[in-house]
Amino acid sequence: MAFTFPQGLAPELYPLAWLVGSWQGEGMLEYPGIPSSGFVQNVTFDHDGGPYLRYESTIYLTPGEQPEVPNPMAQFEALDKAQGSGSVEAGAELGAGAIETDAKGEPVFWSTETGYWRIAPEPHEGVPADHASLEVLLSDPAGRVSVYLGIAGNGKVQLVSDLIARTATAVEVSASKRMYGNVNGDLMWVQSLAAFGQPMQDYVSATLKRIED
């Protein structure tokens, strides 16, 4: 099926057009000090005609399940080899829920975040000419607001945290990286964190499929 740009999408957002819509899938969560767990995730990118995408993500843990999630980095490396891309160097989000299921064994809420993605009005220094510069603002109810800078092109997005602010009671996250990729029509993504005094390392990865209207 030929790709068509979403109706009314601002031309500035064409490098992110493939993200627009609703996605659902499974992933794995693992980090020092946090028991590993499977999860299900719902993600939506939508727009109102303005020069930005609205973003919302919700994750529910499924500790009794261990979904097979393809290695996102291998998938992204395949994208690079097939299409070529630039990269960005390192310059958060931890859930507020407990890792457990309810009495019926149903998935339990772990985290949610909302925000805005936009193409920067001026290219960031060092970004390849065939890629778009991104500015992403995300917030979560665990008490953090994160600003990411990044690049998008050839079905791939790379983000690096530029600022992570938190309330006095929020868990400290010092840095974060994210990668998103369009792999055979699926949305694959991985996030790494530096938190709890730990160095930057993988936190979550998932494969999401588009939910058709």
**Backbone dihedral angles phi then psi of residue 152, each to the nearest 5 degrees:** -140, 140
Tens digits of residue pLDDT in 118-139 = 999 999 999 998 999 999 999 9
Cβ-contact 42, 58 below 8 angstroms = yes
Distance CA 103, CA 108 (A): 10
- 60: Cα within 13 Å, side-chain hemisphere: 12
Q: Strand, coil or helix: what is 15?
A: helix
User: What's the pLDDT tens digit per position in 140-197?
Assistant: 999 999 999 999 999 999 999 999 999 999 999 999 999 999 999 999 999 999 999 9
14 closest CA partner among 57, 56, 53, 54: 53
Q: Collect all residues with Cβ–Cβ distance below 8 Å to 199 and sequence separation of at least 6.
A: none
pTM to 2 decimal places: 0.83
